[in-house]
Amino acid sequence: IESTIKTHDLSDQIKAATKENHFRAENTQLMLSYQKGQITLQQYKVLLFSLYEIYKALEEELDRNSSHPAVAPIYFPQELARLELLESDLEYFFGQDWEKRVIVPAATQRYKQRLRKIGQENPELLVAHAYTRYLGDLSGGQVLGKITQKSLGLSSKEGLSFFSFPGVSSPNRFKQLYRSRMNSVELTEEEKAAVLEEAVEAFELNIQVFDDLQKMLSIATETDQSRSDVGAARFTASPVLQLAVGLCVALATVGAAMYGM
């Protein structure tokens, strides 16, 4: 059995190792709602905040470790970088002082901290997060971009830059190249096992966000219902609901797209 596993490509191993985690992440009620086009402008704006924080950590750590032997083969900043595109989207919706308005929940902070930690201590584990994020975005970006544009009633693609990959002419061919590069990374068996565990951890971090925010959503809803005779209660709950739903969608985006790769 061990010799059989060794012949498998790392990309195939990650897909197999995260199959169950992906299923749980993809089939949340909120992800299915997103696919049906049930997302508001406020939710999408908060989604961008969360994605910004996560990609800022991921891409800064990839940049810092770009010469690391495990990172160098899968380092494609010109083709894949999302940070500047997210900044453009945030400026479109919030203006030039958008950075003062960034708000994310604790679960997103935990994911960001995990990326910083492995970037400092175990850069080879960034391979798992980069693969999960970027290939998921490439697989689902165009479809999700169209869903978002239609749901929000946007007349142009301004504010939707995150979903576009101007440096990639053929997503399918690029994904093949990326998987080939990743499969060429030389890892010890111990390091490869750690990368597989980290890929599972990436999904678990996503699911933690779902759980965290669904609890927020439940508490806010209960509060709203128990004080339904007070108009102010409903007004207070609304931003919490928007925050919860928006950020669940943010982390679900990649999970839904990943296995279209």
Task: Calculate the CA 22 to chain-centre distance.
Answer: 13
Q: What is the DSSP string of 188-208?
A: -HHHHHHHHHHHHHHHHHHHH
Q: Which tokens go with 1? A: 């059995």
Cα–Cα distance between 241 and 244 in angstroms, integer? 5
Binding-site residue ranges = 15, 22, 131, 179
Residue 91 token pair:
């400026």
Cα dihedral 77, 78, 83, 86 sign: negative
Cα separation, 134 vs 67, whole angstroms: 19
Residues of each annotated binding site for heme b: 15, 22, 131, 179
Angle separating helix axes 41-64 and 231-258, nearest 10 degrees:
50
- Tell me the residue length of the chain: 261
